[in-house]
Structure 1
Amino acid sequence: MSVVTRFAPSPTGYLHVGGARTALYSWLYAKSQGGKFVLRVEDTDIERSTEEAKQAILEGMAWLGLDADVGPVYQTERFDRYKEVIDKLLAEGKAYKCFMPADELDSIREAQKEKGEKPRYPGTWRDRTDHPEGKPFVIRFKNPLEGEVVIKDHVRGEITISNTELDDLIIARSDGTPTYNFCVVVDDWDMGITHVVRGEDHINNTPRQINILKALGAPIPEYAHVSMILGDDGKKLSKRHGAVSVMQYRDDGYLPQALLNYLVRLGWSHGDQEVFSVEEMIELFSLDAIGQSASAFNTEKLVWLNQHYMKSLPASEVAEHAKWHFDQLGIDTTKGPALEQVIEIQAERVKTLKEMAEISGYFYQEYEAFDEKAAKKHLRPVAKDALVAVKEALLAIDDWSAPAIQSAINETADKLGVGMGKVGMPLRVAVSGGGNSPSLDITLALLEQTKVGERIDKALNFIANRENS
């Protein structure tokens, strides 16, 4: 049997981290088994579905690198197929028209609640043929009245539900549009889905869907219902815990590799291993190794992984994602050193790509002003002689390289009889605008020699203006 999995989000909002983890597990299982991964957009809720949300889902999946083998497939383009299957069930007596008004059903359910009974449709129109002309109706599936549904779940083991717990669910509304539970069944059947990975909130839907599949003579997929993701306070993950949208993590400066690695460990494990490449995930992933317990989101762990990947991935790979953050700040990375070079010297010093872009602008454009605290401490009149001397030494270098730059700085300090800090710190503030940068020799080597001279002049002018004010 060729494995086919699917991720089937509803486009009523962004792609959240819980959905992304489900997509990842489905994608990994298909890849690990040499199968196919289907992306299906369940947009039958026409009132709540938006084009913006559809694009957000596609953008999130693309950013994570979870490419589909089939799709995206949109349910709204399959209404003719759903109608065909509904007509088949009606013709075979496996579905029926129900003319019960909504207010009548509401009254019945209220009475059931008052008696302490489970509210449910009582099957009033299940076998009736006295259909009133011109009255609105829904179409209900004839759920079996006896027996039970057994779900062999990869995460939760065997789940058994008696058919007496299930009522005859609506498969088409009064306006003719098919319902979620019915569309899912037809889609899974038509697309040959063999394994359904989804959240535990769908467990109640599964026996209903299995019964419809049986009525259609369709094969039953295997299921894996994963637990929800909690915030670090033990409550359901929500906006109050910070970013929950996948693209918000992109905007905040995380690498997709870091988020994927973090998400895979929210419920799945392989020994004590914490860091996994995508290739390792595919090789090692198993549905049966997914745990039953809810997982708590820990932003500190995600930050740690992000730092790991910024430092360990090839700089060219990090640069592909970092450039977006420089672009957001209006920084043209073509006017300066190769972005890969900046990443190599800055990755150790930041937590996110956003932070990297924010502190690296001086490599590509003129800074607007000196950092007030750094300038107050290091651009004082006493620093003037050191800056003049080091400028002369730096501009005299024929081979503009880190070793030559370091030698010039050392020689300047020796010539003036001062410690390295008396030369290095004013120089650092002059070239970067602030008090922090990677080692001076490497930082200056990535800047043009003439630009370094111009920035030292800028610092000298700053000192002169302070003296005269």
Structure 2
Amino acid sequence: MSRDFVRVRFAPSPTGPLHLGGIRTALYNYLFAKKHGGTFILRIEDTDKKRFVSNSELYILETLKWCQIEPDEGVGYGGPHFPYYQSKRWNIYRIYINKLLEKGYAYYAFDTDKDLDKKRKEYSNRGLTFSYNSKNRITLNNSLTMTREELHTKLKSCYSYVIRFKIKPGEKLKMHDLIRGNIIVDTDHLDDKVLLKSDGVATYHLANTIDDHLMKITHVLRGEEWLPSMSLHILLYRAFGWNIPYFAHLPLILNKNGKGKISKRNADGLDFPIFPIQWEVPDSHIIIPGYRELGYFPEAFVNMLALLGWNPGIKREIFSMKELIHLFSLERIKKSSIYFDIKKANWFNKKYLINEKKKEVFTFLCEKLRKRSIDIGKDYLWKVIHLTIDRIHFIHEIWEHSFYFFIYPDSYEANFFNKICNRNTVYQLEKAIVLLSDTASPLFTSVNLKSLLTETIKEKKIILKLLRLALVGILIGIDLFIILEMLGKEESIRRIKKLRSNIKEKI
């Protein structure tokens, strides 16, 4: 495969936000282009005016930028094949649709929606499905059933029409997909797809094929949902006499609960995000957070996404973008659909957090403390981070797991607190206060405290819970004796006395 001529494109429609499947398609195109020293192009396929959503294009550009998979050419980046919007290439499509008409590969169809609905009902009543194909077209209202004069009269009279592709029946069309292998389609089972709609707008099939050829696309990497269209696109290439690009159809991403593929339509029923970045629904106050807003790192998100259908062939799972580019190959993309697991996405984020993002955690904690006018030494702060970072998946979670190293707990775990509001608890806390007060400051270490408390107190389970409640406010956290050492003798005793006072007030 020549490195100099690889050209791939990501061609989303501006009909809303990109979801996981869409951005993965962009990523695989990007990785493939970079692997082979090729060009990654962004094209906006905006032929569907009815579904157009105004802020989609900006969303697409911002998403690609956040994911660090920016195009080399296309919308927002320029290039020699301007314009990169299908809506602005109408004159180009008209030239090529006329060539198909002249060669007999396309024809005018004047059937109204009412006519076609009537046909569908007739077939349905007989237990059949109507198809506008080689068997039926000769009985329908199209230029194949008219003389040239009749056609000329129709066109001159401004009758509404579409232009359909004329499928040649009786062929076993042999195709090859780089992921799925050889595929054979019987053209008797294909219908004559519309290439030009009644409003004069080219359909995706026509525009996509012409644009890919003119933009010199060598490899078409797209979602599995486009596999049924592959035969039509190859027949269009043949009709024009053009070289056919390589095709690779990527596996679907399924919801882990088995309820179908991930898509924008079922986003509301999922318990995990499907958009890379935040989406603001136009003309409403609805904002749907994406992975970026929820605290995921772009590197972790991309790493996770790359492995969602592709296997690098080695046991490692953490890869830099440079490594992904080096390892990526179409041969290792799975044929079967892949299940998405949000727990795995969280795992990736945690790995990047621990291995590469500790400075960002430090900065986040510094800002939290600055807002509270708390001055803490760097060494102490780093020690807190090292003690607690294994407990979090996202930067914003660090305060929840470390606040007690800096401030009093402002409340206590209610269920346990209510159970211990009695005189015996007060007695136990007073014993602990005396014990800790009698411990010399140089010996106030986690090792010594563990030995002291566990060996000298009979009801050690309850007293340890009481101490944790006093210091942290809840019954979970890192090793209690390390907390005692970190807070120091005076602060630890102060917090225990505070809990004792609260219990006294309650009883």
One fold, TM greater than 0.5?
yes
CA displacement, residues 151-188 of structure 1 (integer Å, 9 cap, x when unaligned): 32111112233444434322232222322222322332
- Inter-partner Cα distance in structure 2 for 1:97 and 1:152: 31
Q: How large is the RMSD of aligned CA atoms in angstroms? A: 4.5
- 8 Å CA contact 2:300–2:349 kept in 1: the answer is yes
- 8 Å CA contact 2:45–2:85 kept in 1: the answer is no
Going from structure 1 to structure 2, the CA distance change for 1:115 and 1:348 (only over 3 Å counts) comes to closer
CA displacement, residues 3-27 of structure 1 (integer Å, 9 cap, x when unaligned): 2222333343443222233233222
Q: 1:227 aligns with which of 251, 254, 261?
A: 251
- 8 Å CA contact 1:110–1:119 kept in 2: the answer is no
Partner residue, 1:400? none
SS in 2 for 1:28: helix
Q: 1:359 aligns with which of 401, 409, 417?
A: 401
1:27 corresponds to which letter in structure 2? Y
Partner residue, 1:438? 478
- Inter-partner Cα distance in structure 2 for 1:414 and 1:360: 25
1:178 corresponds to which letter in structure 2? A
Q: How does 1:389-408 map to 2 (within 5 A)?
A: 407=445
Q: 2:334 aligns with which of 291, 297, 316?
A: 291
Is 2:309 the counterpart of 1:267? yes
- 8 Å CA contact 1:412–1:423 kept in 2: the answer is no
- Inter-partner Cα distance in structure 2 for 1:412 and 1:162: 78
- Inter-partner Cα distance in structure 2 for 1:457 and 1:297: 48
Is 2:391 the counterpart of 1:349? yes
Is 2:500 the counterpart of 1:463? yes
Going from structure 1 to structure 2, the CA distance change for 1:218 and 1:340 (only over 3 Å counts) comes to farther
- Inter-partner Cα distance in structure 1 for 2:446 and 2:485: 12
Going from structure 1 to structure 2, the CA distance change for 1:413 and 1:330 (only over 3 Å counts) comes to closer
Q: Per-residue deviation at 1:223?
A: 0.9
Is 2:136 the counterpart of 1:125? no
Partner residue, 2:282? none
Q: Per-residue deviation at 1:299?
A: 4.2
Q: Per-residue deviation at 1:225?
A: 1.1
- 8 Å CA contact 2:175–2:231 kept in 1: the answer is yes
Q: How does 1:100-111 map to 2 (within 5 A)?
A: 100-111=111-122
- 8 Å CA contact 1:39–1:71 kept in 2: the answer is yes
Partner residue, 1:82? 90
Going from structure 1 to structure 2, the CA distance change for 1:415 and 1:163 (only over 3 Å counts) comes to closer
1:407 corresponds to which letter in structure 2? T
Partner residue, 2:271? 242
- Inter-partner Cα distance in structure 2 for 1:165 and 1:65: 42
- Inter-partner Cα distance in structure 1 for 2:387 and 2:32: 37
Length-normalised TM-score, structure 1 = 0.77
Is 2:206 the counterpart of 1:182? yes
CA displacement, residues 109-135 of structure 1 (integer Å, 9 cap, x when unaligned): 444553746511526434452324132
SS in 2 for 1:188: helix
Q: How does 1:372-411 map to 2 (within 5 A)?
A: 372-373=414-415, 375=417, 380-381=425-426, 382-384=428-430, 386=432, 407=445, 410=448
- 8 Å CA contact 1:198–1:226 kept in 2: the answer is yes
Unmatched 5+ stretches in structure 1: 397-403
CA displacement, residues 316-354 of structure 1 (integer Å, 9 cap, x when unaligned): 36779xx5x999x99969967678765533232235556
Is 2:172 the counterpart of 1:160? no
Partner residue, 2:163? 139
CA displacement, residues 44-91 of structure 1 (integer Å, 9 cap, x when unaligned): 333323245445544544443333333446989442323322234325
1:464 corresponds to which letter in structure 2? S
Q: Per-residue deviation at 1:229?
A: 2.5
Unmatched 5+ stretches in structure 2: 77-81, 277-289
1:243 corresponds to which letter in structure 2? F
Partner residue, 1:34? 37
- Inter-partner Cα distance in structure 2 for 1:119 and 1:286: 39
Going from structure 1 to structure 2, the CA distance change for 1:421 and 1:53 (only over 3 Å counts) comes to farther
- 8 Å CA contact 2:6–2:39 kept in 1: the answer is yes
SS in 2 for 1:24: helix
- Inter-partner Cα distance in structure 1 for 2:400 and 2:411: 14
Partner residue, 1:399? none
Going from structure 1 to structure 2, the CA distance change for 1:261 and 1:17 (only over 3 Å counts) comes to same
Is 2:11 the counterpart of 1:8? yes
- Inter-partner Cα distance in structure 2 for 1:445 and 1:26: 53
- 8 Å CA contact 1:75–1:183 kept in 2: the answer is no
Q: How many residues align?
A: 454
Going from structure 1 to structure 2, the CA distance change for 1:349 and 1:79 (only over 3 Å counts) comes to closer
Greater Cα shift, 278-287 or 230-239: 230-239
SS in 1 for 2:201: coil
Q: Per-residue deviation at 1:463?
A: 2.0
Length-normalised TM-score, structure 2 = 0.72
Partner residue, 1:171? 195
